[in-house]
């Protein structure tokens, strides 16, 4: 049954734990609930914000509009030989989906273990970690069009995936709500252990020929050792994107800082490690008021208790200015600022 609530605290619904309120709030469990909601006159007059796990946003003030939390569940798998098509509801917790795939020996998402958020948000951000991106396993998604109330299917080419980008963050931003995602996975794993941290962890465990369960466990261990648990200390994971620069820009940096951490990209550019840049500027583990950077990973900004969104945002500005003046590189926030 669709319910619209008023003056609801959003603290339980954002992993930063920022205590702001939403004027109106509705939780959606079925696609039919979405259709009913957008037939309500309230949606014609209010600003709309869609949230899943609330893991990629920073609230700097109360939201004067309608927050819609997507909680559509369900996972269905369709096996066709070595190919597996797995469809998951937009409200499924991302790591629950990864665990489901690992338990059923469906390979492809094991490197994305423990990324916070929900399945429905994963294509929007084109989430990625340890050499794998969402687009590598994406088949299609179903999305509710706010303007018409129709559900449309988006295939891979429709989504215009880029580094932490998609059409849903670009030209179609705010026009669709992803209700389910279908993934193209495999029963015969070709595991990706190219990131050094995974290889090192597997070696520590004495594993020479890992399967997807071993890779998932290694990735989970690495993430837990580096990243804080949002249930104990508020954070949104990586706060900044890893900057991608041209080779001539990189030549200037490496001439001054030969040990700069970097990775070549498929299109001939260079990706820098934002966490490394921030750490070199002295920000790792820094505490300022109620906010700061995480002690084990400078890329993560945290809420030490009662930080406001504005406090966190101001702190991030200082980091951006510091990295710019030291390396000539402008960091871009990965989280959505509201």
- Candidates 322, 318, 327, 288; CA nearest to 305 is 288
Cα separation values, 149 from 72, 81, 135, 227, 336, Å: 17, 36, 26, 39, 25
Q: Which of 133, 238, 316, 333 is catalytic?
A: 238
CA 335-336-338 angle, 5° bins: 135
Point out the catalytic residue in the list 30, 165, 311, 334: 334
For this structure, is 205 an active site residue?
no
Is 85 one of the catalytic residues? no
List strand residue ranges (DSSP E) for 13-82, in order. Answer: 21-28, 47-51, 57-58, 63-70, 75-80
Which neighbouring-strand residues pair with 128?
Answer: 133
The active-site residue out of 164, 180, 223, 333 is: 164
For this structure, is 334 an active site residue?
Answer: yes
Residue 80, phi-psi category: left (phi > 0), alpha (psi -120 to 50), beta (remainder): beta
DSSP letter at 40? S
Work out the number of other CB atoms within 10 angstroms of the CB of residue 42: 15
Active-site amino acid positions = 164, 238, 334
């Amino acid at each position: 049954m669709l319910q619209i609530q008023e003056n609801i605290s959003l603290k339980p619904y954002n992993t930063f734990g920022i205590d702001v309120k939403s004027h109106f709030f509705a939780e959606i469990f079925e696609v039919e609930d979405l259709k009913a909601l957008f037939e309500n006159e309230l949606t014609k007059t209010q600003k709309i914000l869609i949230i899943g796990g609330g893991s990629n946003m920073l609230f700097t003030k109360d939201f004067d509009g309608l927050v819609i939390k997507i909680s559509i569940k369900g996972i269905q798998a369709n096996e066709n030989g070595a190919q597996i098509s797995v469809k998951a509801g937009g409200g499924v917790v991302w790591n629950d989906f990864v665990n489901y795939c690992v338990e059923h020996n469906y390979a492809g998402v094991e490197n994305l273990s423990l990324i916070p958020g929900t399945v429905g948000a994963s294509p929007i951000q084109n989430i990625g970690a340890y050499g794998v991106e969402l687009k590598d396993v994406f088949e299609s998604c179903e999305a509710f069009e706010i303007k018409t109330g129709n559900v449309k299917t988006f295939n891979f080419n429709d989504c215009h995936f880029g580094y932490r980008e998609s059409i849903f963050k670009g030209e179609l931003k705010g026009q669709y709500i992803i209700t389910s995602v279908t993934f193209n996975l495999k029963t015969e794993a070709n595991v990706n252990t190219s990131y050094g941290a995974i290889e090192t962890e597997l070696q520590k465990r004495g594993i020479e020929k890992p399967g997807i369960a071993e890779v998932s466990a290694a990735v989970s261990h690495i993430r837990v050792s580096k990243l804080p648990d949002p249930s104990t200390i508020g954070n949104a994971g990586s706060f900044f994107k890893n900057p991608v620069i041209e080779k001539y820009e990189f030549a200037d940096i490496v001439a001054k800082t030969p040990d700069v951490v970097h990775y070549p990209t498929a299109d001939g550019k260079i990706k820098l490690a934002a966490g490394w840049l921030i750490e070199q500027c002295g920000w790792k583990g820094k505490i300022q008021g109620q906010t700061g950077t995480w002690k084990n990973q400078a890329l993560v900004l945290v809420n030490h208790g009662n930080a406001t969104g504005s406090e966190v945002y101001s702190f991030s500005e200082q980091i951006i200015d510091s990295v710019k003046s030291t390396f000539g590189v402008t960091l871009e926030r990965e989280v959505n600022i509201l």
